[in-house]
Amino acid sequence: MTRVAIHKAKRVPQRTCVGCREVRAKRGLIRLVRTPDGVKIDPTGKKSGRGAYLHDNRSCWEKALKGSLGAALKMDLTDAERIILKEYASRLPEADTSEEDQVRP
């Protein structure tokens, strides 16, 4: 009798954008992390600390900065942190154009 190797599909980690509440692959989102020094953008996704994820478009960042980001990180954002995050968001595209890693319910 011959053995046939059965390969399971690799599980892709999913995360929810705190701006629009849409679920996507973790690699398709930008991670923000709460550190002792304040909120930082984590491009590697590996810094230790409580994290939250956002799409790479301006509208999600604007929604998140109104309150859901602070709730997700379980902290109040300072004015300086809001300014830094708004500056970062201003460099992002207006609308999301990538749909390849989107998960539909």
Locate the domains of the chain by residue range: 14-90
Cα end-to-end span (Å), the chain = 41
14-90 fold: Hypothetical Cytosolic Protein; Chain: A; (3.30.1230)
Confidence of residue 96 (pLDDT cuts 50, 70, 90): low
For residues 45 and 71, what is the distance between their CA atoms, to the nearest angstrom?
Answer: 19
Structure tokens at 28: 């398709």
Helices (H) and strands (E) in the chain, counts: 3, 5
| Nearest residue to 47 via CA among 63, 35, 56 | 35
Give kind and range of the element (H or E) at residue 34: strand 30-35
Structure tokens at 5: 């190797």
Question: pLDDT tens digits for 41-93?
Answer: 999 989 999 999 999 999 999 999 999 999 999 999 999 999 999 999 999 99
pLDDT value at residue 105: 46
Confidence of residue 94 (pLDDT cuts 50, 70, 90): confident
